[in-house]
Amino acid sequence: MSAVWDATYVVAKVICPTEGSRLANLTIASAAHYESKDRRKSAWSPATLRSLVEQFALAPLPELDPDERLWQRLAELAKDGAHLGQSPEGMHSWAAAYQRASATQKAMGAYATHNAFASALARITFEPLDKHRIHRMVDPSVGAGNLLLAAIELYGRGSTDAHLKKFILSLHGVELDPRARELCCLLIWLMGAPVGVTLKQVAKNIHHANALTLDWWSGQDLYEVLLMNPPWESLRHSVEEDPDGERALTVARLSTLAVGAHGLPPLFSAQGGGDKNLFKAFVELVPHLLVQGGRLGALVPAAFASDAGLTELRERYFQQFEIARWTSFENRGGYFPIDSRYKFGLLAATRSDVGTRQLSVRSFAVEPDEVDAPHISLDREDIRLIGRRYHIIPELFQERELEILRTALRTGSPLFEQGPLGRVVYRREVDLSLGKAQFHHIASKKLQSYGDATFIDARGQRFVPLLEGRCVGAYDCFQKTWVSGSGRTAVWRENADQPLSQCSPQYVISPLPDLPPRVALCDVTASTNTRTVIATWVPRTWRCGNTAPVLQYESDMLAFAGLGVMNTLVFDWVARRLASGLHLNKFILEGLVWPQLDTEGVTAAAHAAWSVCLSKPRAGLPEGGAASPPWQASTSSKPRRALQPVAAAASLEVLVAKGLGLNRAQLEAVFDEDRSDRRGFWRYYDSDSQARRVVEKALSSW
């Protein structure tokens, strides 16, 4: 269907170079109106087309090319494209085709809502409402009107013409892009024309304005229904397509607190300390536009449910709305022209000062109709337990996930509070962007290798690797070797079984002596990767970049115990339910817990981790660590022999599972190989030949 719009646009751009997309829209709208008005007419002439285009334009078009041959071609294309304005599917296709050609929409992160998602969102929003009543409705980022079209289609089923007309005239919208606003008016009018709605009536309710700087409360009633898919763009970068300076005005407005709706905190007072972002601003605007009992249906980035920067906004939503459901999706179905890993969600809620006591969630959906699939019921206590002070809405797919999380998080001890592993401190040591004066690219200096991945220059100055996240493997401080290039364009290779003496970092830095025991994590990760939490011991004098943050411990034994715990599947399983983005940020780690271990349990965990390290080619053990555990000399306990690697790893799984209060059935659920589980460990089992042996050994020794 969109090919018709594309072909029309090509000719329209010749006739009107500065407003080709507008002329294409007006041409198809004219054809759709002409065909539906009187199909008996056969004279579809260039003159008729020009007349209708001028009649339906909401603002004057610039001077048009008078060439009759071009207009004749445009009229022919319009006749073929008339069907686009005669069905909801055609209109959605038309709107999507327009967006592809609109630089303004792309620059502002405004992605047209696919008709299947628009329909699903409209359905769950109107679900509890009385369809016999007319509800005053608004979309504050209306774009080409896909959500309003979906509402009309839903409401029109079984309605009388008079009732449908009243409903269409109750729809409102605000759009900053005048071209998108005009297209929105045309599409709604075409749907309403058969029941007597005029273009003038529609245009009166669809405003060309900036919803974030608009004074909504001057003589305006609040709304009973709000549907939106706001722009997803950050405001930290300037864009070329901003001739009216609206971007600057928006930034200024978001930086100024002002009174909004009565009884609510000042508008834009909960934007957080991170980037100013358009979708965050729209999310905060919503409760100021809705009456008590009003319904909200929103399609927003999944960051709404999980980002630390939206903590205050989430808390306000829990206070100001009765959230009914949150269904989060991955873009694997390609419904938006962005990365397939990008996550977004459908939110349905009712404005209520009673707040949210219970909500239903479902995660990792792909198809729009999954909004109707079974969801998992959470109460506020679950949000407090799992989401902690950040009020994170967890990503859950199965009921048993909630049961395991409840057990583990209630039993364990928070990572950064005094607990079985002492006081653990999170540190980011060297910023790879801001701290460039502290380190050197390895190709920039003549260095001689010491044979242990450290180096010396001609002056006798010593250098150690600057550990990056990509180098961090499980019990492996040098998983990859730098080959060539620098920064993001650098080329790396897997080190396989190579010893440290054959490994090369990208950057080197002066050593710091007497650093405390540390374990480094790979910061860049995801809950659907082979593994999410990947930890390694850090040699004492090495230093770590910000992509390899460290956990600092009070002793070697506690550090090895922590290393072993974090590399277990059980610990990782919990982390994969809390980490929804692409980084293992500190606020995610704050939600994780250490298992309850007594002194003997801590010693056993440390010994098992040390045993696993002995089987690795690049564990980075302290000097003498291969002969005996580094803490052995300071204890009077009888020396222990190293465990076999599989037995050591299995013993860690059992220690952690029991220390988190799990039973055998829950441990089996953690180890499940179900390939339909996006966060399952089946990828890990496929990639590591010993993984299944560890799992079998752990279950057999339970």
Tell me the per-residue pLDDT of 145-181, one tens digit each, with 9 for 90 and over: 999 999 999 988 888 999 999 999 999 999 999 999 9
In this predicted structure, the answer to whether residue 636 has a pLDDT above a threshold of 60 is no
Q: What band does 85 get if pLDDT is binned at 50, 70 and 90? A: confident
Confidence (pLDDT) at 108: 58
The pair of structure tokens assigned to 227 is 């549907």
Name every residue whose Cβ is closer than 8 Å to that of residue 391 and which is 6 or more positions away in sequence: 311, 314, 315, 318, 383
Q: What is the dihedral of CA 464, 467, 473, 476, to 10 degrees?
A: 20
- First-to-last alpha carbon distance for the chain, in angstroms, is 60
Alpha-carbon gap, residue 36 to 282, rounded angstroms: 38
> CA angle at residue 684 from 682 to 685, to 5 degrees?
65
- According to DSSP, the β-strands at 358-365 and 543-544 are unpaired
Alpha carbons 1 and 89: distance in angstroms, whole number: 9
pLDDT number for residue 385 = 96
Q: Picking from 132-146, 419-433, 623-637, which range would have the lowest pLDDT averaged per residue?
A: 623-637
Question: Which domains does the chain carry?
Answer: 1-86 (no CATH), 102-397 (3.40.50.150), 425-700 (no CATH)
Exposure string over 60-93, b if 16+ CB within 10 A, otherwise e? eeeebeeeeebbebbbbbbeebbbbbbebebbbb
Q: Does the pLDDT of residue 653 top 90, yes or no?
A: yes
Query: Can you tell me the mean pLDDT for 679-683?
Result: 96
Q: What is the pLDDT of residue 259?
A: 87
Phi-psi group of 374: left, alpha or beta (phi > 0 → left; psi -120 to 50 → alpha; rest → beta): beta
Reply yes or no on whether the pLDDT at 242 is more than 80: no
pLDDT score at 692: 96
Neighbour tally for 433: CB within 10 Å: 8
pLDDT by residue (tens digit) across 424-478? 999 999 999 999 999 999 999 899 888 888 999 989 999 999 999 999 999 999 9
Stretch among 92-101, 126-135, 264-273, 492-501 having the lowest mean pLDDT: 92-101
Note the pLDDT of residue 275.
Answer: 75
The first and second tokens of residue 607, run together, are 């010994």
Higher per-residue confidence, 424 vs 36: 424
What was the pLDDT predicted at 106?
54
Distances (CA, A) of 252 to 110, 256, 280, 358, 526: 20, 7, 15, 37, 35
Shortest CA distance to 121 belongs to which of 285, 344, 392? 344
Pick 129 or 240 by higher pLDDT. Answer: 129
DSSP 65: P
Average pLDDT, the chain: 92
Cβ burial of 545 (10 Å; 0-12, 13-18, 19+) is buried
Kindly report which listed range (42-51, 282-291, 471-480, 520-529) carries the lowest average pLDDT score: 42-51
Size of the chain, expressed as the number of residues it contains: 702
3-state helix, strand, coil in the chain (%, to 5): 45, 15, 40
Q: What is the mean pLDDT of residues 359-382?
A: 96
SS (H, E, C) 531-582: CCCCEEECCCCCEEECCCCEEECCCHHHHHHHHHHHCCHHHHHHHHHHCCCC
CA distance readout (Å), 511 to 465, 518, 522, 539, 640 = 9, 14, 21, 10, 33
pLDDT of residue 634: 61
What percent of the chain has a predicted confidence (pLDDT) above 90?
A: 76
- The residue-averaged pLDDT of 15-30 equals 94
How far does CA 687 lie from the centroid of its chain? 27
User: How many of the other CB atoms lie within 10 Å of CB of 137?
Assistant: 26
Q: Are 472 and 521 in contact (CB under 8 A)?
A: yes
